[in-house]
C-alpha cells in the first residue's frame, strides 16, 4: 500500500511540475504569452525559448537538488530541522561571492549586472567553490564524519566565522553590498540553458548515489549503534552522503544563490503525504523541491509584474509559514487529552 501511495504521489508531483513549467513558459515581465502561438512570432518565441523556459527548468532543477540535499541531511543527522546549508556551504558561498565582488570593485571591474562574463562564470564558479570550501572546512574541524554531533557543531562554527568575515568585507567595500544582497535573496533570472545542463548533469548521478546509500539512512534512523551492528561501513558511506549534500547544495547555490527553506520543507511535505523509507523519500523530495521552487519562481514574476520579487523571499515566507503551522498542529495534538 505504501508503494502504491508513493507512486500516486510521484505521478501527482510530475503532473504539477509539468503544469508549473507550462505556466513558467507563459508568464513573464512582458505579460502572459501562449507558448504554442509564440512559435509564429520570432520575438515572442525568443523570449519563451531563451529566457522563460531555461529559467523555469533551471529553477525546477535547482529545487530538486535542494530537496535531495535536504532529505539526505535530515536522514544523515537524524534531525528534522537539518537543511542543506547546515555544513557551512551557505556561508562559504556568500564569502566567496563577497571576495569576488570586492576584488572586482578594487580593480575597477564592471559589476555583475553589467558584465555578462562575471555574472555567468565568475559568480557561479566562486559560489560553487565557496560552498564546497565551507563544507571541507567543516569536515576538517570535525576531524571527519565519524561523530555526528561534532560535525553539526563544526558546521555552526564555520557558519558564524565565515559570516563574520563576509561582514568585514562588506564594511570595507560597501559598494558590493547590493550585489551580495541579490545573491543572498536568491535569483533564478540568470539561469540559462548552460546552467540547466550543469544542474541536470549533477542531479541524476547524485540522486542515484543517494538512492544506493538509502539503506544507510534507514539504519541510522534506528540509531547509530543499531546501524553499526548491521555491519555497514558507516564511515565511507557517511562520507559519500556528506559529498552528496555538498555537491547538490553547491551546484544549486552556484546557479541561483541562497534559496532557503526548499531543502528543509520538501522532505516534510513528502512525509505528510506518505510514510516512506529513505529510498522513495529521496526521489519524492527531489520532485517536491523542484515543484516548490519552480512554483515560487513563477509567483515571483507574477505577483508584482512587471517587476519581480526575489524568489528566496517567497520560499522563506511560505516555507517558514508551513513549518510554523506544522509546529502548531503538532503541539496542539500533544496537548489534546
Q: What is the pLDDT of residue 216?
A: 86
Q: What is the pLDDT of residue 114?
A: 40
CB within 8 Å of 37: residues ≥ 6 apart: 44
Q: What is the pLDDT of residue 54?
A: 93
Instruction: Give me the domain span that covers residue 53.
Output: 2-335
User: For residue 146, what is the domain's CATH number?
Assistant: 1.10.3470.10
Question: How far, in whole angstroms, is CA 190 from its chain's centroid?
Answer: 16
Q: How far is the CA of 79 from the CAs of 72, 111, 154, 324, in angstroms?
A: 11, 40, 16, 17
Work out how many domains the chain is built from and give that number.
Answer: 1
User: Please, what are the averages of pLDDT over each run of 10 residues along the chain (337 residues)?
Assistant: 81 95 82 68 80 92 95 89 87 89 65 46 80 90 80 89 91 84 84 91 94 87 70 79 91 89 92 87 95 92 80 85 75 51
Q: What is the pLDDT of residue 86?
A: 86
Q: How far is it, in rounded angstroms, from Cα 329 to Cα 61?
A: 31
On whether the CB atoms of residues 303 and 309 are closer than 8 A, the answer is yes
Q: How far is the CA of 18 from the CAs of 47, 288, 299, in angstroms?
A: 19, 12, 16
Q: What is the pLDDT of residue 39?
A: 66
Q: What is the pLDDT of residue 333?
A: 52
What number of CA atoms fall less than 13 Å from residue 106's CA on the CB side? 10
CB within 8 Å of 179: residues ≥ 6 apart: 97, 101, 111, 112, 113
Q: How far is the CA of 48 from the CAs of 127, 163, 303, 324, in angstroms?
A: 28, 38, 19, 37
Amino acid at each position: 500500500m505504501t508503494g502504491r501511495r508513493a507512486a500516486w504521489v510521484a505521478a501527482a508531483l510530475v503532473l504539477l511540475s509539468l503544469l508549473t513549467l507550462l505556466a513558467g513558459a507563459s508568464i513573464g515581465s512582458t505579460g502572459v504569452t501562449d507558448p504554442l502561438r509564440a512559435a509564429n512570432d520570432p520575438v515572442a518565441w525568443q523570449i519563451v525559448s531563451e529566457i522563460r523556459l531555461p529559467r523555469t527548468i533551471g529553477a525546477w532543477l535547482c529545487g530538486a537538488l535542494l530537496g535531495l540535499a535536504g532529505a539526505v541531511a535530515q536522514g544523515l543527522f537524524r534531525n528534522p530541522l537539518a537543511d542543506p546549508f547546515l555544513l557551512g556551504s551557505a556561508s562559504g558561498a556568500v564569502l566567496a561571492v563577497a571576495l569576488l565582488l570586492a576584488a572586482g570593485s578594487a580593480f575597477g571591474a564592471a559589476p555583475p549586472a553589467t558584465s555578462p562574463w562575471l555574472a555567468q562564470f565568475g559568480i557561479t564558479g566562486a559560489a560553487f567553490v565557496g560552498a564546497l570550501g565551507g563544507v571541507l572546512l567543516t569536515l576538517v574541524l570535525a576531524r571527519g564524519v565519524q561523530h555526528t554531533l561534532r560535525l553539526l557543531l563544526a558546521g555552526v562554527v564555520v557558519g558564524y566565522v565565515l559570516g563574520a568575515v563576509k561582514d568585514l568585507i562588506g564594511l570595507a567595500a560597501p559598494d558590493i553590498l547590493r550585489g551580495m544582497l541579490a545573491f543572498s535573496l536568491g535569483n533564478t533570472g540568470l539561469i540559462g540553458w548552460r546552467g540547466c545542463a550543469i544542474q541536470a548533469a549533477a542531479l541524476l548521478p547524485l540522486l542515484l548515489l543517494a538512492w544506493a546509500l538509502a539503506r544507510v539512512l534507514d539504519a541510522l534512523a534506528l540509531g547509530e549503534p543499531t546501524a553499526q551492528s548491521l555491519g555497514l561501513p558507516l564511515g565511507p558511506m557517511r562520507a559519500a552522503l556528506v559529498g552528496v549534500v555538498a555537491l547538490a547544495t553547491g551546484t544549486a547555490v552556484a546557479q541561483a544563490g541562497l534559496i532557503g527553506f526548499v531543502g528543509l520543507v520538501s522532505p516534510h511535505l513528502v512525509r505528510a503525504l506518505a510514510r516512506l523509507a529513505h529510498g522513495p523519500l529521496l526521489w519524492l523530495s527531489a520532485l517536491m523541491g523542484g515543484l516548490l521552487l519552480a512554483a515560487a519562481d513563477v509567483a515571483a514574476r507574477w505577483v508584482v509584474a512587471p517587476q519581480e520579487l526575489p524568489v528566496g523571499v517567497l520560499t522563506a515566507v511560505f516555507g517558514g509559514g508551513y513549518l510554523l503551522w506544522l509546529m502548531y498542529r503538532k503541539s496542539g495534538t500533544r496537548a489534546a487529552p
